[in-house]
Homo-oligomer: A and B are copies of this chain.
């Protein structure tokens, strides 16, 4: 297995991410580490990295070395961002690091940092058009996204840490201080020419400020899923929460549910940037990305030999990767998916669902048995847990939940209780789950002995009946009997009797 270490040296902390890439192309996170070295501390107007901060950084890198060497790393990607980029003693610092650790850091330009942020988003969220923002400690990247590609990018030379230092009292900022900061930000935003043309873009937000913002919002709303990545909130929610913290003192801020205590001192400046951009662009929606710079660097590495710089079919890619991560036997779920989709397509006039539901059904089919990894008993329940917790990229939270319910209901399609997630799912979703659940229930039965006995199916529709012909390689008694047990549920959902017969190929 190829093992890649990605080291990201920022203003506040240095982070390590270890990723393994198997020979089949699948990849997984192996380990992570973080040390808060505060490299930019006391840089002062002369912008020099100070000896104490340098010592802390080198110490941390030496610890990381122990870790990635123990893992037998084959590739190291080490980058430095704003603090080092701006430092007047950059060259000396890099030499010192190299002498002490052997590590050669690449200093990312603002444009390169923006590019990496873009790669982290576009390869993990179904993002086509909009504005990507990455708020760091010492810089803020803005990227205009169109048809999944970068059309413009700007790096602003300030972030949550430096803005706090320049404008705000950390304990209790005054109204005037905050207003000055807001004015400063507006001015900078309006100096970015391409940003002026953006009107109500979806904002894709990266970085600790925005992850924390999403947590505050989820707490407020008692959101029923514990997932950050691709969480969506309205522009109004962003502004509401900003108003809440805007001039609160440190103790008050620390008491806001979900607000990270480590971030309480710099959260005002960070949120001023987000809400400033929401206001400036009149954005109605913020999508939170759990993937950031390091993920982007990883995807740059993974896709380095591809012509198109991003993954084409995110969901398919993500599910395939998951199936390999889970070490699943691939033939059976793929065959179930084939039969399920064939049935879905042939019954389209009955259920009238579209391509979005088809995609969900495919995911549910491929992962319906994944819960067996936890325990054979109650594995439908465990499939639900795994699907909602394994971060399938390219799906919304609603779609992930529907897929999880469909997978869970493959044994008892009409018993899903969606009430615990009624904040995300509506009645129509409940109906969709029943329809897709029944189809999966029957298709899975047609592959009961997991040996590909039924090659394909033909559905013939009549006024009161549906006749399903299973095209079988040989005797399919078991499959037909088991599938027929789903006929009562089929009748309840589709209002037609289901007949099943086998036809030998």
Contact = CB atoms under 8 A, between A and B. Distances in A.
A226 B375 CA distance: 13
Q: How large is the interface on A (under 10, 10 to 19, 20 to 34, 35 or more residues)?
A: 35 or more
Contacts of A481: 63
Interface stretch (A117-125, A378-386, A486-494): A378-386
A241 to B, nearest CB: 23
A63 B484 CA distance: 13
Contact of A376 (B32, B69, B70): B32
A373 interface: yes
A63 B478 contact: yes
Interface in A351-400: 373-378, 381-382, 385-386, 389-391
A445 to B, nearest CB: 12
Interface string A87-111: 0000000000000000000000000
Contact of A374 (B67, B71, B390, B450): B390
Contacts of A382: 389
A373 B29 CA distance: 11
A330 interface: no
A475 interface: yes
Nearest to A28: B376
A350 interface: no
Contacts of A2: none
Nearest to A29: B376
15 contacts: A28-B376, A29-B376, A63-B477, A63-B481, A66-B475, A66-B478, A69-B449, A70-B449, A71-B449, A226-B378, A327-B327, A374-B389, A374-B390, A375-B391, A385-B385
Interface of A: 28-32, 62-63, 66-67, 69-71, 226, 290, 326-327, 373-378, 381-382, 385-386, 389-391, 448-451, 453, 475, 477-478, 481-482
